[in-house]
Amino acid sequence: MAGAASWSFNENDFKQIQTHLLAFLRDSNARCALLVDRNGQLVATVGETPQFDPTAFASLTAADFSANDQLAKMIGEAEFASLVHQGERESMYLADVAKRVILVVLFDQRATLGLVKLKAKSVVGELNKVFAEMFNRVGTGQAQQKGLLEGAEDEIDKLFG
Amino acid sequence: MSMINYASREINCKLVYYGPGLGGKTTNLEHIYGKVSPNTRGKMISLATETERTLFFDFLPVDLGTIRGFKTRFHLYTVPGQVYYNASRKLILKGVDGIVFVADSQIERMEANVESMQNLYDNMAEYGYDLTKIPFVIQYNKRDLPNAAPIKDLQASLNPGWPIEDATRQKQTPDPAHPGETLVDKIGGEWVGHAPYHEAVAVRGDGVFDTLKAVSKFVLKTLS
């Protein structure tokens, strides 16, 4: 393999993700849910608009998850499929989705960790299905991508002067 | 692993600045951060020790423009250069789309450069990526120092060439950045390829954008 495979998602995927996450936020009382890919790119944000830089947040989330993954292996675990960071007012719950994406839930005193964990379990199941379908379309995704930039050499040259 | 988001019309790519400790990787990102308009870049994150040595990574997102109505967003990362941080260095390489190897031109750092290059090759191989087949650019930094090694010596040690087996690439390819030099050429009956290189003095900003442009253009062309 020359490099990692690319993937893409369309507006329909986004709508499905949004529907599942909105239902999860309603049921769990959490404030906001973000989906971040394991390489640190933000895929989606649902719920209250975060008051921080979401791009930086996504890269740190991926690094956090990857570092913990390695720690799990060191103590003989295959993985830590979920992580909790508990603060005085604000807390975070992170869970693996389809081994490629991380669900990050931000919640405050209005929600309890138990409820967030419980409801996250079912939404992770739903998201796993959505992403499995998305990754199964890899061929199509690459074709779309190829089409997107095919013949764009001139535009690329122009962009870089 | 580039990600195309059709919902927000963005192409996201990951670039990693690799190389030996104190070679100037963070300095490259700091210069880009300082020069790019705040509208087109995000916040720079540095996970560093108290003595400002990179502990985990530096991160800087930059928008380089729009192609086919899609925003091209590059996520720039550096890795910790020191040998004993290999576990975290390897994590950062995951899903990389393009690599800049920042070499320290000082003669005394030649061994550290070679060791870091070998480490890059090994870490990439562990992920199943082939360094010779992904967008890869070398930056020879610190060219202003009196003890900087000649470019031809650096090239011989760090960029000696690899066989080109793909028949479609077996053609003489001039190096656009260095007239009279080639990126692919037939040497002794065999086709040999080299990574494009740029000279730099990152602390003054010389060569920093040339390197960034070269690698990001390379990444986008790979997608086209």
Q: Bin B67: left if φ > 0, else alpha if -120 < ψ < 50, else beta.
A: beta
Provide the pLDDT for residue A9.
77
The ipTM, to two decimals, is 0.72
Q: Do B94 and A144 touch (CB under 8 A)?
A: no
Residue B114, CA distances (Å) to B94, B120, B150, B183, B220 in order:
22, 10, 15, 20, 28
* Structural domains of chain A sorted by starting position, each given as residue range(s) with its CATH number in brackets: 11-130 (3.30.450.30)
A-chain residues near B198 (CB < 8 A): none
Percent of chain B with pLDDT over 70: 100
Of the candidates B75, B128, B220, the beta carbon closest to that of A40 is on B75
Residues 6 or more apart whose CB falls under 8 angstroms from that of B155 comprise B194, B197
Element (H, E) at B158: helix B151-158
Q: Which of A51, A59, A131 to mutate to test the interface with B (most CBs of B within 10 A)?
A: A59
pLDDT number for residue B38: 92
Tens digits of residue pLDDT in B70-88: 899 999 999 999 888 898 8
Q: pLDDT of B18-47, one tens digit each?
A: 999 999 999 999 999 999 999 999 989 998
Contact yes or no for A3 and B213 at CB 8 A = no
Nearby residues of A8 by Cβ (< 8 Å), 6 or more positions away = A141, A144, A145, B3, B4, B5, B6
CB burial class (10 A; 0-12, 13-18, 19+) of residue B130?
A: middle
Which position has the higher pLDDT, A149 or B195? B195
Counting DSSP H helices and E strands in chain A, the numbers are 5, 6
What is the location of CATH 3.40.50.300 in chain B?
3-159+195-223
Tell me: domain B3-159+195-223, CATH 3.40.50.300, correct? Answer: yes
Phi and psi at B46, nearest 5°, equal: -125, 120
Check if the beta carbon of residue B76 is closer than 8 Å to that of residue B17.
yes
Shortest distance between the Cα of A17 and any Cα of chain B, in A, equals 12
CB A9 within 8 Å of CB A134: yes
Q: What's the pLDDT score for residue A146? A: 55
Question: Residues B4-20: what's their mean pLDDT?
Answer: 89
Cβ-Cβ contacts under 8 Å between A and B: the total is 140
Residue A95 Cα, gap to closest chain B Cα (Å): 18
pLDDT value, residue A6: 66
Predicted pLDDT at B97: 94
Spatial neighbors of A151 by CB under 8 A, at least 6 apart, are B224
Query: Residue B108 carries which side chain, given as an amino acid letter?
Result: E
Check residue A143 and give its pLDDT: 46
Q: What is the dihedral of CA B20, B26, B32, B34, to 10 degrees?
A: -150
Instruction: Specify the pLDDT at position A141.
Output: 47
Q: Residue B215, SS3?
A: helix
Considering only CB atoms, which chain B residues are within 8 Å of A134?
Answer: none
> Which position has the token pair 């202003």?
B144
- To test the contact with chain B by mutation, choose from A6, A10, A16, A142 the residue with the greatest count of B C-beta atoms within 10 A, namely A6
C-alpha–C-alpha distance, residues A116 and A112, integer Å: 6
Tokens at B128, concatenated: 């199943």
Is A131 in contact with A54 (CB distance < 8 Å)? no
List, in sequence order, every beta strand (DSSP E) within B28-167. Answer: 45-48, 54-67, 70-78, 98-104, 136-141, 162-163
Task: Kindly report, residue by residue over B162-191, the tens digit of the pLDDT.
Answer: 999 989 889 999 999 999 999 999 998 999
In this model, does residue B157 exceed pLDDT 70?
yes
pLDDT band at B49 (very low <50, low <70, confident <90, very high): confident
pLDDT given for residue A161 in this prediction: 63
Q: Is the pLDDT of residue B154 over 50?
A: yes
CB A46 within 8 A of CB A84: no
Total-model pTM = 0.86
Per-residue pLDDT of chain A (161 residues), as tens digits, is 444 456 777 888 889 999 999 999 999 999 999 999 888 888 899 999 999 988 889 989 999 998 998 899 999 999 999 999 999 999 999 999 998 899 999 999 999 999 999 999 999 999 999 998 888 876 544 445 556 777 677 777 777 76
Inter-chain touch B128–A149, beta carbons under 8 Å: no
Angle at B213 between CA B8 and CA B104, to 5 degrees: 125
Average pLDDT over residues B127-156: 96
